[in-house]
Amino acid sequence: MFKKILTLFFILNFVSSCEYKPIYSSSNKSNYRIIITDLSGDKKLNKYIVENLKRNSRKNSVEIINIKINSEYSRKILAKNTLGSTTDYQAMAITKFEINKNEIIEQLVVEEKFNYQKISDSYEEKSYEQTIKSNLASSISQKLILRLSIIE
């Protein structure tokens, strides 16, 4: 009985002394201004990435980060059925960033892939592909933001 109480005491003490802090909490907000100096590559993908970066940029911050973005988006066929028509695609976005922060220039390449099946309605498929592109851009920009927090 005493061992159980002692064990429970240590477990509660150990758990209560741990500090849980989410990655995206308000105290971890970035304090820098992002300036996009050059955009090249896929225009839609760049537009989504810039929109995501603007949300994390502080307009009145003293610290400035200059970023050049070069993105490529491709869609390739993964599978075909017995009739020869396409059934599965892979969307791939490769984005190269050149980050200039405090006179330190760093290169970052982010590659994201997503596999999906063909949709019979072509309008719905194009709409779905735009949603995929938006999600890929969101993932890419989150990886860039995490990288920016590491650079000193």
Give me the CATH number covering residue 116: 3.30.160.150
Model confidence band, residue 15 (pLDDT cutoffs 50, 70, 90): low
The per-residue pLDDT for 95 is 96
Q: Within a domain: residue 126? A: yes
The per-residue pLDDT for 56 is 84
**Which amino acid, 94?**
I
Please, are residues 31 and 61 in contact by the beta-carbon 8 Å criterion?
A: yes
The per-residue pLDDT for 2 is 77
pLDDT higher at 12 or 94 = 94
Q: Within a domain: residue 19? A: no
pLDDT higher at 14 or 123 = 123
Q: Within a domain: residue 37? A: yes
Q: Within a domain: residue 94? A: yes
Q: pLDDT tens digits for 20-64?
A: 566 555 544 567 889 999 999 999 999 999 999 998 888 888 888
- CA 127-94-28 angle, to 5 degrees, is 90
Q: Within a domain: residue 5? A: no
The per-residue pLDDT for 27 is 46
Residues 103 and 120: their CA atoms lie apart, in Å, by 51
pLDDT higher at 107 or 151 = 107
Residue 123 clears pLDDT 90, i.e. is over it: yes
Global confidence as pTM: 0.76
Model confidence band, residue 17 (pLDDT cutoffs 50, 70, 90): low
The per-residue pLDDT for 52 is 92
The per-residue pLDDT for 21 is 61
Q: Per 3-state DSSP, what percentage of the chain is helix, strand, and coil (rounded to 5)?
A: 40, 35, 25
Domain tally for the chain?
1
As given in the structure block, the two tokens for residue 20 are 């849980």
Provide the residue range defining the domain that includes 81.
Answer: 33-150
Q: Within a domain: residue 77? A: yes
Q: pLDDT tens digits for 81-115?
A: 999 899 999 999 999 999 998 888 999 999 999 99
Q: Within a domain: residue 16? A: no
